[in-house]
Amino acid sequence: MKLATYADWRRCIEVQCGIPLTAPYIAERIRILSDQTSDQTRKFVEVWGDAHRQRVLMWFKQAGAEV
């Protein structure tokens, strides 16, 4: 399921997945999603597409600004 809004994505991460959006977690996800040579990033793009990767990266950056 591709999430359409930041609020939906944040709720999915924090409530459904139970992952706290801490500064270290956000920084690590930004680093990985920004590295297109990363195996994790390539798999993410394979499953979800690059447009969604870019959207999720933007949402992590937004969450980082809120921490």
Strand, helix or coil at 4? coil
| pTM given for the model | 0.91
Please report which confidence band the pLDDT of residue 11 belongs to, taking 50, 70 and 90 as the band edges. Answer: very high
How does DSSP classify residue 16? Answer: I
Structure tokens at 27: 């920084």
Give dist(CA 54, CA 62) in Å, integer. 12
| 2 pLDDT higher than 80 | no
- Locus of tokens 């597409």: 49
pLDDT score, position 1? 65
**pLDDT tens for each residue of 13-44:** 999 999 999 999 999 999 999 999 999 999 99
How many other C-beta atoms lie within 10 A of the C-beta of residue 26?
A: 21
pLDDT score, position 3? 78
* Residue percentage of the chain with pLDDT more than 90: 94
Helices 39-48 and 50-66: crossing angle in degrees, nearest 10, is 120
